[in-house]
Amino acid sequence: MTYRTFDPYQAVEALAASTRRAILERLRHRPLPVGELAKGLPVSRPAVSQHLQVLKAAGLVREQRVGARHLYGINPEGLAALRAYVESFWQDALKELKATAERQRRKRR
Amino acid sequence: MTKTVVPPVHASVTIARRPDDVFQVFTRGMAQWWPLHTHSVAADTFEGKVRAEKVVFEGRAGGRIYERMDDGREVDWGQVLVWEPPHRVVFSWKPNLDPVPPTEVEVKFIPEGSGTRVDLQHRGWERLGEEGLRKRQVYETGWPGVIDVFARHLSNA
pLDDT at A18 over 50: yes
Q: Which of these ranges, A90-94, A96-100, B58-62, B140-144, has the smallest mean pLDDT?
A: B140-144
Question: Which is more confident, A87 or B128?
Answer: A87
Assess A30–B contact: CB distance below 8 Å, yes or no: no
How many Cβ pairs within 8 Å bridge chains A and B?
A: 126
* Residue A55 confidence (pLDDT): 92
Nearest residue of chain B to residue A93 (CA atoms):
B34
Dihedral (Cα; B22, B33, B126, A33), 10-degree rounding: -130
Residue B3, domain member (yes or no): no
Q: Which residues of A touch B23 (CB under 8 A)?
A: none
What's the CATH number where B107 sits? 3.30.530.20
Measured CA distances, A80 to A6, A51, A60, B109 (Å): 10, 20, 9, 26
Distance in Å, alpha carbon of B24 to nearest chain A alpha carbon: 9
* Residue A109 confidence (pLDDT): 57
* Residue B145 confidence (pLDDT): 41
Q: How many domains does chain B have?
A: 1
- Residue (of B105, B9, B25, B31) closest to A98 by Cα position: B25
Dihedral (Cα; B144, B145, B147, B153), 10-degree rounding: 140
pLDDT under 50: residue ranges of chain B:
1-4, 131-157
Contacts of B90 (CB under 8 A, 6+ apart): B80, B81, B82, B104, B105, B106, B107
Query: pLDDT, tens digit, for every residue of B51-67?
Result: 888 999 999 999 999 99
Length of chain A in terms of residues written: 109
Of A13, A90, A99, the CB nearest to B120: A90
Q: Tell me A28's DSSP state.
A: T
Of B25, B148, B153, the CB nearest to A100: B25
Contact criterion met (CB < 8 Å) for A105 and B21 = yes
Contact criterion met (CB < 8 Å) for A12 and B11 = no
Q: Can you spell out the DSSP letters for chain B?
A: ----SSPPEEEEEEESS-HHHHHHHHTTTHHHHS-TTTSSHIIIIITTSS-EEEEEE--STT-EEEEEETTS-EEEEEEEEEEETTTEEEEEE--S-SSS--EEEEEEEEEETTEEEEEEEEE-HHHHHHHHHHTTTT-S--HHHHHHHHHHHHHH-
C-beta of residue B96 within 8 angstroms of C-beta of residue B120: no
Residue B113, domain member (yes or no): yes
* Residue B68 confidence (pLDDT): 93
Q: Which residues of A touch B133 (CB under 8 A)?
A: 18, 21-22, 25
* Residue A4 confidence (pLDDT): 55
pLDDT band at A2, cuts 50/70/90? Answer: very low
C-beta of residue B109 within 8 angstroms of C-beta of residue B86: yes
Q: Which residues of A touch B32 (CB under 8 A)?
A: 100
Residue B63, domain member (yes or no): yes
* Residue B144 confidence (pLDDT): 37
* Residue A52 confidence (pLDDT): 95
Domain that holds residue B50: 9-156
Contact criterion met (CB < 8 Å) for A12 and B9 = no
Residue B2, domain member (yes or no): no
Measured CA distances, A91 to B23, B27, B148, B153 (Å): 17, 17, 16, 12
Distance in Å, alpha carbon of A96 to nearest chain B alpha carbon: 6
Phi, psi (degrees; rounded to nearest 5) at B64? -90, 150
User: Whole-angstrom Cα distance, residue B31 to residue B53?
Assistant: 9
Q: What distance lies between CA A45 and its chain's CA centroid? A: 22
Bond from prior residue into B86 cis (ω within 30 degrees of 0): yes
Report the residue of B13, B30, B44 to disrupt the A interface, i.e. the one with the largest count of A CBs within 10 Å.
Answer: B13
Assess A65–B contact: CB distance below 8 Å, yes or no: no
Query: pLDDT, tens digit, for every residue of A20-66?
Result: 878 887 887 789 999 999 988 888 999 999 999 999 998 889 999 98
* Residue B135 confidence (pLDDT): 41
Assess A109–B contact: CB distance below 8 Å, yes or no: no
Which CATH fold would you assign to the domain A8-108? Arc Repressor Mutant, subunit A (1.10.10)
Residue B4, domain member (yes or no): no
